[in-house]
Amino acid sequence: MKCETCGSKLSGMQPNCPFCGTPDPQFVRRYGAYPPPPSQRNIPPQNIYRPPYQPIMPTYSKENEPAEAAIIIFSIICPLVGFIYGLISLSHGEIRAGKTYLAVSAITFAAFILFIVLIAFMAAALT
């Protein structure tokens, strides 16, 4: 059977046309009552859109605490500061930050030593 309004095929098992909402006469003959109009039915609107992906936030881990930029800058200016903060961070369980401070202070200390050695060689070459 076809819908009188839109011409779509009806099965007789639904009270209304799934496309336009017109009552199905075959359903009315079979069950003896008109279904309520779509505006009076308590059918919640279908959510055709899926909610956006919500990533799960990682739990806080003290071991994965990032290094602070100010302490890294102080470590470049004075390697002793980075060495001390690196040891303190490692003793408190902040492994990532402690390793970063120690690495920056070691690189800075090595650069200072290299700079002093180059100056000594240049001074010896000039004399």
- Is there a domain that residue 72 lies in? yes
- Within a domain: 105: yes
Q: Are 40 and 15 in contact (CB under 8 A)?
A: no
Query: Does a structural domain hold residue 29?
Result: yes
74 in a structural domain? yes
Residues of the chain with pLDDT under 70: 12, 31-55, 58
- The DSSP 8-state label assigned to residue 120 in this structure reads H
Q: Would 122 be classed as within a structural domain? A: yes
Domain assignment present for 42: no
Q: List the domain range (segments joined by +) for residue 25.
A: 1-34
Distance (Å, whole) CA 38 – CA 30: 20
Looking at residue 113, its pLDDT comes to: 95
pLDDT of residue 66: 83
Residue 53 lies in a domain: no
Task: Identify whether 50 is part of a domain.
Answer: no
- Based on the fold, state whether residues 119 and 74 are members of the same structural domain: yes
pLDDT score for 16: 78
* Amino acid (one-letter) located at 117: V
